[in-house]
Amino acid sequence: MLTISVDDGSTNVKVSWFNGKTVETIISPNSFRKGWKSAGLRSDKVIANYLIGETKYTYDITSDKALETTHIDYQYSDLNLLSLHHALLQTGLPPQVIKVVVTLPITVYYNADDCQKNEANIQRKKDNVMREISLNKGEVFEISSVEVMPESVPAVLTTLIDSSASEFSRTLVIDIGGTTVDSAVIVGQFEEISDIYGNNEIGIGLVTNTARQALSNADSDASYLVANELIKNRHNLEFVKEVINDLSKVDEVLNKIENRISELAQNVAEEMKKFCKNPNRVYLVGGGAPLVFEAVKVAYATLGDRVVILENAQTALATENMLYSLSENSDKSTA
């Protein structure tokens, strides 16, 4: 049975699987609204119309009626189930029976007071993922079992081991997602997780909402997905002019986005210094890592090049969870 690793974040879902030779990874943005849409003129394309219970949903990348996913309850919602199955279908793999490895924010996965697994939250996530969903005029994957992993921490497994960290070192991992900033302090080469912290009021969603409002003020109502694309492509003037209708407000829209990014970065840096004042190294992961990297470097200036943004920061968690699953299966087969 195929195992697929799914970092089912609120803004984007990252999917990794082993093709027999290498681990492949894709990113699937979230953008769903209620109701179904009709097919276009292309007969080769299945329209992503889904049914959960009696509620109809469709994947719509541009609609300003797209449902918000950047809230903590997303992890146990219809939108989470939709995002997961839609992302699986983007892999190009034929629908089949699979096992999935999914994620939860670290402060939801662990109890904040004692760093022990929150079994109730983990089971709640499993129950949500195992719910039935159907694709109109198409097939979905059949999920037979679910494993839940914490966000952020596994993403740095290979990097931390390769760093030759001593048993006395403390590594701060910072994960900037759409809804939350999650962080953890790791001792040595994953000897233990000594502390965790999360804030579900700080995330890329703050910038996304600002971008959507600014677009609306420029007669350019847009989905969350389009707003996020604008944030990523804000230095590409050709793209900017494609999504902003009132060109007289281009500078105003971009300034509001930049100011919000600066505010987010400063808030993250301040929160992290309060949580872990003097770590020996800092690793940043998650889709929002590039937005806050420079501010975090300034906050931990004495560490110099030991403040690192991971290569492929957005997909690192899905890839590492896949590699971990492969190693676990290998150990069991040779035991």
For 66-120, the DSSP string reads PPP--SGGGGGSHHHHHHHHHHHHTT-PPP-EEEEEEEE-HHHHB-TTT--B-HH
Give the number of domains in the chain: 1
Return the percent helix, strand and coil in the chain, to nearest 5: 40, 25, 35
Q: Find, among 98, 86, 70, the residue nearest to 28 by Cα.
A: 86
Q: Please, which residues have CB within 8 angstroms of residue 262's CB and are 6 or more apart in sequence?
A: 295
CATH number, position 94: 3.30.420.40
pTM of the model: 0.90
The pLDDT of residue 42 is 55
Q: Is residue 251 part of a domain?
A: no
**Residue 220: inside a domain:** no
Q: Look at residue 209 and tell me if it is in a domain.
A: no
Per-residue pLDDT at 44: 55
pLDDT digits (tens, 9 = 90+) for 106-138: 889 998 778 889 999 999 999 999 999 999 999
Chain centroid to CA 203 = 11
Are 321 and 103 in contact by the 8 Å Cβ rule? The answer is: yes
Considering the domain boundaries, does residue 228 fall inside one? no
Question: Across the 335 residues of the chain, what is the mean pLDDT of every consecutive 10-residue run?
Answer: 93 94 94 88 73 96 88 90 97 96 91 87 97 96 96 88 86 91 91 88 92 96 93 96 96 97 96 94 94 96 95 92 80 51
Strand-pair category, 307-309 with 181-187: unpaired
What is the per-residue pLDDT across 39-90, written as a single tens digit (0 to 9) for each? 765 555 668 999 999 999 999 998 889 898 877 789 999 999 999 999 999 9
The reply to whether 284 falls in a domain is yes
| Full residue range of the structural domain in which residue 110 is found | 2-202+264-334
Residue 244 lies in a domain: no
98 DSSP β-pair partners: 2, 143
Alpha carbon distances (Å) from 28 to 98, 99, 103, 198, 223? 19, 19, 15, 24, 15
The DSSP code for 11 is S
Distance CA 299, CA 306 (A): 12
Tell me whether residue 226 is in a domain: no
**Res 214: pLDDT:** 97
In a domain, 116, yes or no: yes
Distance CA 29, CA 120 (A): 28
Q: DSSP of 121-182, one letter per residue?
A: HHHHHHHHHTS--EETTS---EEEEEEEEESSGGGGHHHHHHTT--TT-EEEEEEE-SS-EE
Residue 160 has a pLDDT of: 86
